[in-house]
């Protein structure tokens, strides 16, 4: 009887230790997620590298889910068409900055650097085509 009692006690003890270890492990995951979220930069604006109706339409959709962010479009559609897309999405003209100085992907960024610095914008959502994304990320 004594050995049966010891065996039950061992199983209960191992079960308890297993539960404690699982709880510790599971509580560690939310802490790591919270730390990662805190360290991740939060975008301060949306930058679209112009080149088509699809990009600016997607930008308008993105802007409706991020109503506090300014929208910057570099060398996109003609002003009237771009403004029409944003108005149709219910976005105020005051949020939209259209810039037509850029001639290529490099100047899409370099022409706007001073504007971003003057507004203390360091982190952006970048919208472009999948074809241009590797080049845009490199710049």
Residue in the structure block whose two tokens are 């600016």: 56
Looking at the fold, whether 49 and 68 belong to one and the same domain comes out as: yes
Work out the average pLDDT over 126-136. 75
| pLDDT number for residue 12 | 87
Query: pLDDT digit string (tens) for 19-61?
Result: 888 888 777 777 778 888 788 888 999 999 887 899 999 999 9
Query: Is pLDDT of 128 > 70?
Result: yes
Query: pLDDT digit string (tens) for 70-96?
Result: 999 998 899 999 999 999 999 999 999
- Count how many domains the chain has: 2
Residues 102, 108 contacting (CB under 8 angstroms): yes
Q: What does the DSSP assignment read for 28-47?
A: HHHHHHHHHHHHSPPP-EEE
Looking at the fold, whether 49 and 36 belong to one and the same domain comes out as: no
Looking at the fold, whether 50 and 105 belong to one and the same domain comes out as: yes
Statement: the pTM of the whole predicted model exceeds 0.85 = no
Looking at the fold, whether 35 and 91 belong to one and the same domain comes out as: no
CATH number at residue 115: 3.40.50
Please give the residue range of the domain that contains residue 10: 1-40
| pLDDT number for residue 117 | 95
Cα–Cα distance measured from residue 98 to residue 38, given in angstroms and rounded to the nearest whole number: 32
Looking at the fold, whether 31 and 93 belong to one and the same domain comes out as: no
């Amino acid at each position: 009887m004594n050995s049966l009692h010891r065996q039950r006690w061992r199983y209960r003890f191992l079960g308890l230790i297993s539960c404690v270890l699982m709880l510790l492990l599971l509580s560690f995951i939310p802490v790591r997620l919270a730390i990662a979220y805190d360290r991740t930069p939060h975008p301060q604006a949306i930058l679209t590298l112009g080149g088509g109706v699809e990009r600016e339409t997607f930008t308008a959709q993105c802007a409706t889910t991020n109503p506090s962010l300014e929208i910057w479009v570099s060398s996109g559609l003609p002003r009237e068409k771009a403004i029409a897309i944003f108005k149709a999405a219910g976005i105020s003209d005051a949020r939209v900055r259209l810039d037509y100085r850029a001639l290529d992907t490099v100047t899409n960024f370099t022409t706007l650097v001073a504007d971003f610095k003057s507004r203390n914008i360091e982190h952006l959502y970048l919208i472009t085509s999948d074809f241009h994304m590797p080049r845009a990320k490199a710049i």
